[in-house]
Amino acid sequence: MSNLMETTMTPDLQSYIDKREAYKAENPKARARTIAEAIGLSEAEYVSLDLGHRSKEDRVIRLKEAWTDILAEIETLGDVMALTRNEACVHEKVGTYKNFEVHEGAPIALFVDEKIDLRIFLMHWAHGFAVSAPNAMTGKTMHSLQFFNKAGEAVHKIYLREESNADAFETLVSTYQADEQVPLLFEARPEPTPSVLSTEKPDSDIDVDGFLAEWRALQDTHDFFGLTKRYGVTRTQALRLAEGEFTRKVSVGSARDLLEKAAASQTPLMVFVGNKGCIQIHSGEVVKLMERGPWYNVMDPGFNLHLNEEHITDAWVVRKPSEDGDVNALEVYDANGEQIVQFFGKRKPGIPELESWREIAASLS
């Protein structure tokens, strides 16, 4: 790859670089997301401060907005670490990106595999970078692909591991390097997405009887999203309206309780974590659980989960009918009505839920 031209240093750009260096000097192990917030940038803007190709070990390359083409090439990297997060939960999964699909007529893509299982909503993807930089904790160079929405918030990241195909990474970066390598500094800060609760209609405007009747008639849990859209209800409003029949409010510590019971009983789970641009799924058992400050963690080979319990304000056990019998879940929410994490018992279409999972769901107080 040819060297990139050095970016012209504007006063604004230099001031942010100076702020960054000052913050890092006092907080040498701080992560990019934390530093960006501290100096008043989105994470995407922060990453773009270092645009330029100094060496394979120290560079940031802006990528073309060719998301489906790039994603179709990710399998060539071999085993990598996939990371999807929201404000309160981080989901990390090791594996190879296999079985790539794009929905015709809709900007939705999927990777469907036991290890890397993703639902990608491309209408929320706006910026992409290839990043090679020392890890703040270890000092070891990390190579990654990082994708962000219009507001500069991370939607998905892919990190190379020692066993990954470094040559394929170089080929991908060379192929999809954007023509313009200009730092991303928003002239005007994008408006934040309105909170879910701020858009909620009054209960009196909802046909509750019709909504619950259609809930009773569900044959596929995937139809629930369409049901809420038809009746104009938010997710948490739906859970509240169905309380006593299909939903049960449980304690904010229920996620920890569930993980401990699943580990003790070796009950395999499905763990969904996402944001508006991506949902990432783990299917399997959880074993090693660890508390560290406000974060409750799963630290298993191939799967890590980091859940900030201080953000949890609501948790619900939710039952949905299906042609395979009832499907139970624990859904966890923050103060803005945004879903943090969702747990199911591991199952496949055509197979009823495990009885051990139903016992765990029923036991949550």
Digit-coded pLDDT (tens) for 233-252: 999 999 999 999 999 999 99
Predicted TM-score (pTM) of this structure:
0.93
Question: Are the C-beta atoms of 173 and 61 separated by less than 8 Å?
Answer: yes
Average pLDDT over the chain, rounded to an integer: 93
Band (pLDDT 50/70/90 cuts) for residue 136 is confident
86-100, 181-195, 226-240, range with the lowest pLDDT: 181-195
Across 351-360, average pLDDT:
96
Pick the CATH number of 197-363 from 3.40.1570.10, 3.40.120.10, 3.20.20.70, 3.40.50.300: 3.40.1570.10
State yes or no: pLDDT of 8 exceeds 70. no
Strands ordered across the beta sheet of 100-102: 100-102, 108-111, 117-121, 278-284, 269-275, 339-345, 327-333, 314-320, 247-250
State yes or no: pLDDT of 20 exceeds 50. yes
Band (pLDDT 50/70/90 cuts) for residue 196 is confident
Question: Are the C-beta atoms of 83 and 92 separated by less than 8 Å?
Answer: yes
Across 105-113, average pLDDT:
93
109-113, 163-167, 186-190, 353-357, range with the lowest pLDDT: 186-190
pLDDT of residue 11: 59
Band (pLDDT 50/70/90 cuts) for residue 187 is low
pLDDT of residue 185: 78
User: What CATH number has the domain spanning 11-98+126-176?
Assistant: 3.40.1570.10
State yes or no: pLDDT of 109 exceeds 90. yes
3-state secondary structure of 206: coil
- Per-residue model confidence as pLDDT tens digits over 34-64: 999 999 999 999 999 999 877 788 899 999 9
State yes or no: pLDDT of 7 exceeds 50. no
Q: Which one has a higher pLDDT value, 330 or 135?
A: 330
Q: In the chain, what percentage of residues exceed pLDDT 70? A: 95
Q: Judging by beta carbons within 10 Å of its beta carbon (0-12, 13-18, 19+), is residue 195 exposed, middle or buried?
A: middle
pLDDT of residue 13: 87
Across 340-361, average pLDDT:
95
State yes or no: pLDDT of 320 exceeds 80. yes
Strands ordered across the beta sheet of 52-55: 52-55, 58-62, 127-134, 141-148, 154-160, 80-85, 89-95, 303-308, 295-300, 289-292
Q: Which one has a higher pLDDT value, 253 or 10?
A: 253
Closest CA relative to residue 314, chosen from 269, 233, 249: 249
State yes or no: pLDDT of 142 exceeds 60. yes
Q: How far is residue 166 from each of residues 19, 142, 177, 342, measured CA to CA in Å? A: 33, 11, 16, 34
Closest CA relative to residue 151, chosen from 69, 87, 232, 198: 87
32-39 and 11-26 helices, crossing angle to 10°: 120
pLDDT of residue 189: 62
Domain ranges in the chain with CATH number 3.40.1570.10:
11-98+126-176, 197-363
Across 292-314, average pLDDT:
98
Band (pLDDT 50/70/90 cuts) for residue 5 is very low
State yes or no: pLDDT of 347 exceeds 50. yes
pLDDT of residue 87: 95
pLDDT of residue 138: 81
State yes or no: pLDDT of 3 exceeds 50. no
Distance CA 70, CA 54 (A): 23
Across 12-32, average pLDDT:
92
Type of residue numbered 244: G
Across 97-114, average pLDDT:
93
